[in-house]
Structure 1
Amino acid sequence: RAAVQQELVENEAKDGIIRGTTSWISQGLKLQEEQLQLGAHVRKLGRKITPEDANKLEDRRRLLQGRIDTYEKLLLDAPKAVLDKYEVLSKDQLQARTFVIDPKVVGQRNLNLPWFWHMDVGKTGDASQYMIDFYRVQWLRCKARRDRWQEEYIRVLTEMQAFVLYCQHHARQWKARQERSDQLGELGHTSYAAGRVAMWTDMGEEAKTFFEQVVSPGDMDIAFNGREPVVYPDVYRSLL
Structure 2
Amino acid sequence: MGLGSLVEQEIHLRQGQANDALHELCLALVDKAMIFHTDVQKGGNYKMTTWAWGQISNAEAMVQWHATIYRQCRKQLIALGAGEDILGKLSKLNRADLTVSATIADPNARGHRDNTLAWFWTMDLPWDSAMNDRMSEFNWLRTKVLRDRWEEELELLTLETGWTQKFFLHKEKFWSGRHMEALAVGDTGFACYSARQSQMYRDLAGTLGCTSR
Shorter-chain TM-score range: 0.3 to 0.5
**TM-score, length of structure 1 as denominator length:** 0.36
Q: Which has the higher helix share?
A: 2
Identify the structure with bigger relative contact order (alpha carbons < 8 Å, sequence gap 6+). 2
**TM-score, length of structure 2 as denominator length:** 0.40
